[in-house]
Structure formats: C-alpha cells, structure tokens
C-alpha cells in the first residue's frame, strides 16, 4: 500500500467515535502477509514493540529500535487497506521530552504511513500526549501494565489491585483529558477496567482487562499459537501454528532423508521446456 492509500483507512477520529458502540477488533501485525489477513477483520492493527520479543527473540521490548519499528511499519502498511495502522513508539524515543517525542512520532508516521502512534504511560506522559495531539499526531495511550517499565515495576504483574486502582483511574483520566484517541488497558482487574471504561470518553482497548472494554487487542503470534515461549493468562489460543509448523518441518525432513521428496510432480522433464 502506498502512503497516500492510508487516506481511505479508518482514522483515529473514526476509532474514537466508536466509544460505547460496536467493540473494536484490534491485533498486532509485523509483516505484510499477516497484515493482509488481519485487515479483513480488524479495525486497528498495531505494529507493536512486542515485535522484538516475538519475531526477533529479544528478552523484552526494551531493545527495540526506531529502525525496527519503521521497517516493520512499512511492511505492515503494504498489507493494509482498511484498518487504522498504529505504530508503537519504542523505549527511549519519547520519554525524555515532548519535542523529542514529536520528532520521533513524526518520523514514524512519515516513514511508515501510520495513522497514529502508541506510547506507554499515564499521568506522567499526559503533557507529551497533549503536545503531540496539538501538532497533528493522533496518540493511543497504554496504561496498567506497561511492558517498557518492566524493570521499574519488577515483573509483568497485574496493576491496579486494591487502592492502587486509583492510580490507574487517574492515568486513564489524564490521557483522555490530554487528547489521546484511545487507551490500551493491560493486565488490570476486570472491575477496574469496567469502571474506567464507564468513566472516560475515549475507547478503552483491553488486553488482560475486561470483556466490557470498548475493544480488545492481542499479540497475533500469541493468539495463533506461533509464539509459545510462554502464555499469559489473558491469551486465548485460536490456533496452534507452532505445533502445526513443527509437524510440517518434521514430515519434510523425513521425506528428504528417505528421498520421497521431491516426488515426480515436483521435478522437470526434458520434454516440457518452459514448465
């Protein structure tokens, strides 16, 4: 897809307008063929920094670079016609100052054709979100468990239990007031997600949150059973592609070793030139 084709995609404004209506279907994608598959059924496709863990074998999202996000963003853009493409701002590309966040957000949008960016953080990122939105960058916020802060949090723990719920509610209000068009709620108690969804005017997109969120998102390699290093409780496997691929590779190896592959239909004869 060319950058200009993104004009016919769903916009951040259209996603924002879906608050309280039909649930938003969101998935991550990192490659063109998978983006094509997702586009048919999804409203929003996120080029998540989870790409570092699921495709590049990195231990966390902290090592993901702008160059990686741009390369995968360009690949995903080629597969999308309808869904809004959102690209994650990688760790270190936006926290330092609003001006740096704008430079990097503008680069992500210009070089990939993304219709919006996503960044992690609540109250402490509100000023930056406002700065970006005022300058034409639609922002999806991400609160609750923010994986880029895994070292500060001390693990991939549920956020907002008990009195800590007030902090997450304040984060949700802050990003909504700052102009985010939507907010991802990751790994928070369901009752808290329900309360936030009822309280704020922008769509909540849950991952490990609640069925009453305005939308849901999953990492595509998790839901397809392609990434099976570990499985968080909030992941539902809709397929088992890693197991299917392992069986296919085993069958291929056996057929090569026993010379059953290639079979006559896979090789060329002298009599059929050009075929």
* Interface of this chain with ligand KIV, residues 117 to 146, rule: CB under 6 A: 142
Residue 253 Cβ vs ligand KIV, minimum distance, rounded to whole Å: 32
* Interface of this chain with ligand KIV, residues 177 to 196, rule: CB under 6 A: 184
User: Can you list the pairs that 187-193 forms with residues at least 24 positions away whose Cβ atoms lie under 8 Å?
Assistant: 187/144, 187/145, 187/156, 187/157, 187/158, 187/159, 187/232, 187/234, 188/144, 188/145, 188/158, 188/159, 188/160, 189/158, 189/160, 189/161, 189/165, 192/160, 192/165, 192/168
Among positions 213, 217, 223, 226, the unique one binding ligand KIV when judged by CB under 6 A:
217
- Does position 88 bind ligand KIV by CB under 6 A? yes
Task: Tell me, by CB under 6 A, how many residues bind ligand KIV.
Answer: 11
Using omega within 30 degrees of 0 as the cis cutoff, is the peptide bond preceding 21 cis? no
- Does position 49 bind ligand KIV by CB under 6 A? yes
DSSP letter assigned to residue 133: H
Among positions 6, 9, 50, 195, the unique one binding ligand KIV when judged by CB under 6 A:
50
Complex with ligand KIV: residue 130 or 142, whichever CB lies closer:
142
- Does position 214 bind ligand KIV by CB under 6 A? no
Q: One of 96, 186, 254, 271 is an active-site residue; which one?
A: 186
User: Can you list the pairs that 40-43 forms with residues at least 24 positions away whose Cβ atoms lie under 8 Å?
Assistant: 42/83, 43/10, 43/15, 43/18, 43/83, 43/84, 43/215
Residue 104 Cβ vs ligand KIV, minimum distance, rounded to whole Å: 16
Burial 184-216 (b: 16+ CB within 10 A, else e): bbbbbbeebbbbbbeebebbbbbbbbbeebbbb
> Is 40 considered catalytic here?
no
Residue 207 Cβ vs ligand KIV, minimum distance, rounded to whole Å: 5
Residue 107 Cβ vs ligand KIV, minimum distance, rounded to whole Å: 19
- Does position 28 bind ligand KIV by CB under 6 A? yes
Which spans of this chain sit near ligand KIV (rule: CB under 6 A)? 28, 46, 48-50, 88, 142, 184, 207, 217, 219
Catalytic residues: 186
């Amino acid at each position: 897809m060319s950058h200009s084709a993104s004009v016919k995609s769903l916009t951040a404004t259209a996603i924002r307008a879906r608050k309280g209506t039909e649930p938003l279907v969101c998935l991550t994608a990192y490659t063109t063929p998978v983006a094509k598959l997702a586009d048919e059924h999804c409203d929003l496709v996120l080029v998540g920094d989870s790409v570092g863990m699921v495709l590049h074998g990195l231990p966390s999202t902290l090592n993901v670079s702008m160059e990686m996000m741009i390369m995968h963003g360009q690949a995903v853009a080629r597969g999308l016609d309808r869904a809004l493409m959102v690209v994650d701002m990688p760790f270190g590309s936006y926290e330092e100052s609003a001006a740096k966040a704008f430079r990097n957000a503008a680069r992500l949008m210009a070089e990939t054709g993304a219709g919006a960016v996503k960044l992690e953080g609540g109250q402490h990122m509100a000023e930056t979100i406002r700065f970006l939105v005022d300058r034409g960058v639609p922002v999806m916020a991400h609160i609750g468990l923010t994986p880029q802060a895994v070292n500060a949090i001390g693990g991939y723990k549920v956020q907002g239990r008990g009195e800590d719920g007030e902090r997450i509610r304040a984060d949700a209000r802050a990003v909504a007031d700052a102009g985010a068009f939507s907010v991802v709620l990751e790994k928070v108690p369901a009752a808290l997600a329900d309360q936030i969804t009822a309280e704020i005017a922008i769509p909540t997109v849950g991952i490990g949150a609640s069925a009453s969120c305005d939308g849901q998102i999953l990492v595509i390699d998790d839901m397809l059973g392609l990434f099976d290093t570990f499985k968080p409780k909030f992941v539902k496997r809709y397929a088992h592609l890693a197991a299917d691929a392992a069986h296919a590779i085993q069958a291929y190896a056996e057929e090569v070793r026993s010379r059953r592959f290639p079979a006559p239909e896979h090789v060329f004869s002298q009599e059929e030139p050009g075929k």
